[in-house]
Each structure stands twice: as structure tokens, then as C-alpha cells.
Amino acid sequence: MSAAATGHGLTNNGLTVLSEDEDLFRASVREFAEGEVLPRVEAMEHAGKLDGDLIKQCFELGLMAIESPEEFGGAGSTIFNAILAIEELARVDASVSVFVDVHNTLVTNAFIRWANDDQKKKYLPQLAESKVGAYALSEASSGSDAFALKTRAVEKGDHYELTGQKLWITNGNEAEIFVLFATIDPAAGYKGITAFIVEKGFEGFSVGKKEDKLGIRASSTTELILDNCKVPKVNVLGEVGKGYKVSIETLNEGRIGIGAQMLGIAQGAYENALRYTKEREQFGQTINSFQAVQFQLAEMAVEIEATRLLVYNAARLKDAGKPFLKEAAIAKLYSSRVAEKVSSKAIELYGGYGYVKDYPVEKFWRDSKIGAIYEGTSNMQLQTIAKLIMSGK
């Protein structure tokens, strides 16, 4: 999974240059997505649950430890390869894509950046081999205002007791390891926020209801309940009172992952629409022979390629160790808009068939809507971009 630029190839679009290793990696993920994920999409959508065998395969293929160091069982690769995987999976199914995305860009990333040596040795091999991770920040009263959270951590000798409720937690049903945020001092505001490593088996921890969602239905989005949950002091991730830094810096990378997911959704919807216009006949000819249809497909292709360049650029900057905050925010904002627009247009190109569940494009549209909401709403991305512009950065 090395992303070293050992040679140059081209993506199928012919515009974005990848190294040979990246090309091979993309091809391998696409093969998995089309061969193993696609046949299961309809069943998972109806069940509202990811296929257990598919989860196992994601681990076996190394998709759950792309950036994790080799010494801990990972590939030691880049966020660029991670977003290639997220994009290719979303091209087929957004639920599997976000499952892999959150595990890599939020959970594993948080451990790589903030965990001490003992925590890395204990948890990174588990996250690479078989245990799913989840990221628990949101609450009923803290969405965009993330640090208004009310989950409380009280020091009790060699451990903390956590009490509260988390909402909208992706991978909630499958996860066994949680990066979870609580405040040790509500009066301290954001400076009281602390990140904890919580295991599913800890006393006082339980998973609540799964949300019945518009899209990404196979992805579990759940509440978490903490009732005097006992968390050892050694499971503080980073420093006490510095959880806000863990959260902000992790979510900055996570935005690139969501951008890749939205890119994949748009690509999948476009490819299905393009294929359909070559098959559907009206007035004695295929509908793609009409200039009006050709222009719509051209507009979709332009916006998808612009999205790809924005997402890839943010990932390249991150891997190069350069500032990427503005670029990540732009990529997430724009990609969510394009995914929704392209998938909506795909429905229109299908006509009445696009509106029924027997055909794939309505699902792409439903899956696209979450992109404007989670890991920072579109308004929050605009706020970030505006602040950086006004500050001269």
C-alpha cells in the first residue's frame, strides 16, 4: 500500500496523476468493491446493517489500517491512499465507505497522533486486526457547538467515572473501541474537555438505539449511554483538559475523508446515469444522442473532476505536512454539494425509474445528503473558510 511516487499512471478520468502504487491500490479496492460489496448492497440496505463477512474482509484486506504503522500491523501508508479507498467504496456503497472512513481518519488517526507508546502498543494492533473503532463527540446539546457537551468525567482514584449520553455515533453497533470526549470541569469550558479510550466491555457502558435514517442505512448510527462508566486513568488520550485539540485536529483530517466519500457517491451516480442513457431509447434513439442529455452529463463530469482535484489536493497537502485546514473545508463543502446535485440529476436522467428503489440512483441521492451535515455542517465549513480568508491565511 505504499504511496511512493515510483512512477506515473493515470486514473480512469485521465486528469489526476497517481503513482503506480496508488493506481494498483485503487484497482484492488475497486475490485473488492465491485466483487464483494456490490452484491451485498441491496440486502444490507434492507436489513439496515453491514454484512459481518464483509467487515471481516475489510480487516483481512488491510482497509482498516491504511495509515497505521507497520509495527502495529498496519500498512504504514498515507491519507491519500485512505481517501482512494473511501472514494472507491462510496462509488458502490456509502455505508461501507463511511465505516472504513471513520475507523481510519478519525479513530486510528487519533491514536497515531495522540496516544502514548503503551496505548499504541495495546490498541493499534487490535484496530488493525479485528476491532472496529468509533468516534464519540456529539451530544443532543452539542452538534456544531461541539464543546457544549455535558458528558461528565469525575476522578475516582485510579479511574474516572463517565456519565452522560452520546448521539449520532457512526459504527456504534460494530465498534469495540471508542475515542470518547467528556468534560472534567464544566466551568472550564473547552479547557475541561478530555479524550478517553473507552472499551465496549467497560462497566457502565452500553449502546443505545440505532437511528432510522434517510441514507447510509446500513451504517449504524447510535446513541451511547454512560452510567458511571469506569475508565482507567491510563486510558486518557492525550493530556487531561486537551481533548479539544484532539477533537479539532482529528476532525480536520476527517473532513478530507468525507470529501472522498461524497466524491465516490457522485462518481457512482454519474456512472449509472451514463450507462442508462446509452440503453434507454425514446423517439427511436438512445437518449444520450440528444444534445440536452449530453450537456447534462458533461456538467456532471466537470463538477466531479473539480471535486476530485479539491479532495486530492487536501490529502496531498496533509501527507506533505503542509497546512491543509482551508483546503479540507473547501473540499468537504464543495463535494457535499456536488454529490447531492449529481445524484439528483442522475434521478432525473432515469426519469420515473430513477424514483423507485429497483434502480440504484435514488440511493446515491439519499446517501449524499449526510455530507452537508456530519463532521461539520456546510455552514461550519463556510465559517472556517471565511475566518482563514479574513486572517490572511
Q: What is the mean pLDDT of residues 44-56?
A: 98
* Nearest C-alpha neighbor of 232 from the set 270, 185, 199, 189: 199
pLDDT score of 393: 67
For residue 6, pLDDT beyond 80 = no
**Dihedral of alpha carbons 192, 195, 196, 198, sign:** positive
pLDDT score of 185: 94
Residue found by looking up cell 440504484 in the block: 360
Active site annotation includes 34: no
Q: What is the mean pLDDT of residues 29-56?
A: 98
pTM of the predicted protein model: 0.95
- Domain range list for the chain: 8-132, 134-242, 245-390
Per the prediction, the chain carries an average pLDDT of: 94
State pLDDT tens for residues 275-325. 999 999 999 999 999 999 999 999 999 999 999 999 999 999 999 999 999
Q: Among the options 139, 303, 340, 375, which is catalytic? A: 375
Q: What is the mean pLDDT of residues 247-272?
A: 97
Distance CA 312, CA 179 (A): 27
Return left, alpha or beta for 226; rule: phi > 0 is left, psi -120 to 50 is alpha, else beta.
Answer: beta
**Confidence grade of residue 17 (pLDDT, cut at 50, 70, 90):** confident
For residue 15, pLDDT beyond 70 = no
What cell numbers appear for 226 in the block? Answer: 454512560
Distance CA 259, CA 330 (A): 9
pLDDT score of 1: 38
User: What's the length of the chain?
Assistant: 393
What cell numbers appear for 351 in the block? Answer: 426519469
Distance CA 300, CA 265 (A): 12
* Nearest C-alpha neighbor of 271 from the set 342, 195, 174, 165: 342
Distance CA 62, CA 77 (A): 11
Q: For the domain with range 134-242, which CATH number is right: 2.40.110.10, 3.30.450.40, 3.40.50.300, 3.40.50.2300?
A: 2.40.110.10
For residue 11, pLDDT beyond 50 = no
Q: What angle do CA 307, 311, 315 make, to 5 degrees?
A: 165
Q: What is the mean pLDDT of residues 179-187?
A: 96
Residue found by looking up cell 448521539 in the block: 167
Q: Classify domain 245-390 at the CATH topology level.
A: Butyryl-CoA Dehydrogenase, subunit A; domain 3 (1.20.140)
**Confidence grade of residue 2 (pLDDT, cut at 50, 70, 90):** very low
**Confidence grade of residue 142 (pLDDT, cut at 50, 70, 90):** confident
Residue predicted with more confidence, 141 or 206: 206
Per-residue HEC secondary structure of the chain comes to CCCCCCCEEECCCCCCEEEHHHHHHHHHHHHHHHHHHHHHHHHHHHHCCCCHHHHHHHHHCCCCCCCCCHHHCCCCCCHHHHHHHHHHHHCCCHHHHHHHHHHHHHHHHHHHHHCCHHHHHHHHHHHHHCCEEEEECCECCECCCHHHCCCEEEEECCEEEEEEEEEEEECCCCEEEEEEEEECCHHHHHHHEEEEEEECCCCCEEEEEECCCCCCCCCCEEEEEEEEEEEEHHHEECCCCCHHHHHHHHHHHHHHHHHHHHHHHHHHHHHHHHHHHHHCEECCEEHHHCHHHHHHHHHHHHHHHHHHHHHHHHHHHHHCCCCCHHHHHHHHHHHHHHHHHHHHHHHHHHHHHHHCCCCCHHHHHHHHHHHHCCCCCHHHHHHHHHHHHHCCC
Q: What is the mean pLDDT of residues 89-111?
A: 98
Distance CA 285, CA 311 (A): 37
What cell numbers appear for 200 in the block? Answer: 465496549
Would you tell me how many other CB atoms lie within 10 Å of the CB of residue 11?
16
Instruction: Tell me the pairing of strands 285-286 and 193-199.
Output: unpaired
Residue found by looking up cell 484492488 in the block: 28
* Nearest C-alpha neighbor of 232 from the set 122, 172, 156, 151: 156
Q: Classify domain 8-132 at the CATH topology level.
A: Butyryl-Coa Dehydrogenase, subunit A; domain 1 (1.10.540)
Q: What is the mean pLDDT of residues 77-83?
A: 97
